[in-house]
Amino acid sequence: MKNNDSGFTLIEVMIALLVFMVGVMGVLGMQAIAIKDTANASSLKNAVFVGETFAEKTRLKTFDNINSVANQPEGIYTIKSTVTPSSDSKYKTVDVDVKWAKNGINHVYEFSFIVVNPNDI
């Protein structure tokens, strides 16, 4: 009698399925992280836009009307600016903080710019 064992045993199939499932779980985990990071990048992009819009509006003001702003709401974002005049009043440094909270985590985008007194140019 000839023994012709071809094919896979049940244990081999179960081990192959286990290895496959571990790989699938890894891919699903990476997908969840990618979705979260994309949402965070979108929030940061919007914060940059809000901050740069605020900076452009500030630059359009006359030099003497550029003052600090405390907690100005802008949708889900809050803008705070601190204006520091130079000792010789030739320019002002504007520090801007754009803050927001997402999923219980506080975020902040900070930047600075300088406004020159047009009378000193």
Q: Is residue 1 part of a domain?
A: no
Spatial distance between the Cα atoms of 56 and 54, rounded to a whole number of angstroms:
5
pLDDT in tens, 49-104: 999 999 999 999 999 999 999 999 988 999 999 999 999 989 999 999 999 998 88
Mean pLDDT of the chain: 92
Mean pLDDT, rounded, for 100-111: 93
- Residue 1 scores a pLDDT above 70: no
Name the percent of the chain lying above pLDDT 70.
96
What is the three-class DSSP state of 93? Answer: strand
Q: Is residue 34 part of a domain?
A: yes
4 vs 1: which has the higher pLDDT: 4
Q: Is residue 48 part of a domain?
A: yes
Q: Is residue 5 part of a domain?
A: no
Q: Is residue 2 part of a domain?
A: no
CB 89 within 8 A of CB 70: no
Q: What pLDDT is stored for residue 30 in this prediction?
A: 94
Domain residues for the domain of 52 are 10-120
Tokens of 74: 């802008």
Q: What pLDDT is stored for residue 70 in this prediction?
A: 92
Question: Which residues share a beta bridge with 93?
Answer: 84, 114
Spatial distance between the Cα atoms of 103 and 121, rounded to a whole number of angstroms:
47
pLDDT in tens, 11-58: 999 999 999 999 999 999 999 899 888 888 999 999 999 999 999 999
Q: Is the pTM of this model over 0.75?
A: no
Q: Is residue 3 part of a domain?
A: no
Q: Is residue 46 part of a domain?
A: yes
Tokens of 86: 């130079």
Q: What pLDDT is stored for residue 6 in this prediction?
A: 75
Domains identified in the chain, total number: 1
